[in-house]
Amino acid sequence: MRFSVIIPVYNNPPELIDRAIQSVLSQYYNDYEILLVNDGTTEKKTNEYLEKISKNEKVHQIKLERNSGISSARQQGITHATGDWICFLDCDDYYKNDYLLKFSNAINSNNELDVVMCGFEIVDKEEKILHTFPKDDARQNYIYYGTTAIWNRVYRKSFLEDNNIHFPIGCLTEDMIFVAQVNLYAKQMFFINENLYVNFCNENSTSRKKSFTELSIEKIPFADIELLIDKTSDMEICRDKAMMIRGMLYEQLIVLSCLLTRHIRNTALLREILRLSVHNIRKIQNLDKVVKKWFKNTNGDRNLRFMEFLLMIATKLRVEYCGMYALNRLIGRIR
- Domains (range + CATH), the chain: 3-205 (3.90.550.10), 211-334 (no CATH)
pLDDT at residue 310, rounded to an integer: 60
Q: For residue 195, what are the β-bridge partners?
A: 119
Residue 279 pLDDT greater than 60, yes or no: yes
Instruction: Determine the Cα angle at 90 with ends 86 and 92, to 5°.
Output: 150
Strand pairing of 32-39 and 3-9?
parallel
The per-residue pLDDT for range 290-314, each reduced to its tens digit, is 556 655 665 545 554 555 566 565 5
| Higher per-residue confidence, 75 vs 251 | 75
| Higher per-residue confidence, 189 vs 103 | 103
Look up the pTM and report it.
0.83
Single-letter code of the amino acid located at 77: G
**How far apart, in Å, are the Cα atoms of 28 and each of 25, 59, 104, 109?**
9, 17, 11, 18
Highest mean pLDDT among 4-8, 119-123, 213-217, 257-261: 4-8
Of 108-117, 125-134, 181-190, the range with the lowest mean pLDDT is: 125-134
Cα 142 from chain centroid (whole Å): 16
